[in-house]
């Protein structure tokens, strides 16, 4: 009885499945650039011997990475590192966001910090040519408002263009990382009732503030835009909107 109480108090540790450790090791090799897009992995028997693991465990680890579009298993040819194209990998991010609503809200927190700061810089550095490009984007948005897929592409393009206008390579890199998740979330939010019309109006206010080179107004417009999208999202999540 005493031993059982101690177990309850201190908890126990679950041993991580071998296939997960194999997958993690291969991901580390990718991060360290020891494996690159298009590389062919050694044959299964050789790779299992190199990693000193069983072939069934290795096979399970490879299959997991294949489901994530990190690896491509070609029957009769072998296993290759995929193109690692962000568009390919983001499909799995969509699944993560679909399964965990709290991740979506954390994403909006990150976007508010990042994009509101970025647009403040963009307002100071914007050119007449940039304004012309943004207005062309608004025109495309109006034409695509009835088409969720088309509107998504124009939406992504507008936010990316604003980041480029800010002319800060470090912020651009950070934005690109966050934008992969943001794109995945947009496939969900763009379908919500009224969201495209609201976003179009928000984008018009954003571009107007940028044209006036008013940093404070541009930041306020971007924050309002993200708040509007988040509000629509939360309203669509019964279990979260009731909190």
Q: Which residue ranges in the chain fall short of pLDDT 50?
A: 1-2, 6-7, 9, 99, 240-243
Strands 78-81 and 71-74: antiparallel
User: What residues does 73 pair with on adjacent strands?
Assistant: 79
What pLDDT shows up at residue 14?
54
Q: What's residue 233's pLDDT?
A: 85
Kindly list the structural domains of the chain, giving each domain's residue range(s) and its CATH number in brackets, ordered by start: 2-83 (1.10.10.10), 88-241 (1.20.120.530)
Query: Looking at residue 241, what is its pLDDT?
Result: 38
**CA-wise closest residue to 41 among 54, 30, 32, 31:** 30
């Amino acid at each position: 009885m005493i031993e059982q109480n101690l177990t309850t108090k201190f908890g126990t540790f679950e041993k991580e499945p071998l296939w997960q450790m194999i997958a993690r090791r291969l991901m580390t090799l990718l991060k360290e650039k020891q494996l690159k897009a298009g590389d062919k992995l050694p044959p299964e028997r050789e790779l299992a011997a190199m990693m000193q693991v069983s072939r069934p465990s290795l096979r399970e680890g490879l299959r997991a990475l294949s489901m994530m579009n990190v690896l491509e298993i070609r029957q009769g040819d072998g296993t290759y590192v995929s193109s690692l194209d962000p568009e390919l990998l983001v499909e799995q991010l969509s699944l993560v966001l679909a399964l965990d609503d709290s991740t979506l809200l954390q994403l909006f927190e990150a976007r508010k910090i990042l994009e509101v700061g970025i647009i403040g810089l963009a307002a100071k550095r914007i050119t007449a040519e940039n304004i012309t490009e943004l207005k062309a984007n608004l025109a495309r948005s109006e034409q695509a408002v009835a088409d969720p897929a088309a509107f998504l592409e124009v939406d992504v393009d507008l936010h990316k263009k604003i980041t480029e206008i800010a002319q800060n390579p470090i912020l651009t890199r950070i934005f690109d990382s966050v934008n992969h998740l943001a794109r995945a979330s947009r496939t969900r939010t763009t379908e919500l009732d009224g969201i495209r019309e609201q976003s179009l109006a928000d984008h018009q206010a954003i571009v107007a503030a940028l044209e006036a080179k008013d940093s404070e107004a541009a930041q306020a417009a971007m924050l309002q835009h993200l708040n509007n999208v988040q509000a629509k999202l939360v309203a669509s999540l019964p279990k979260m909107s009731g909190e």
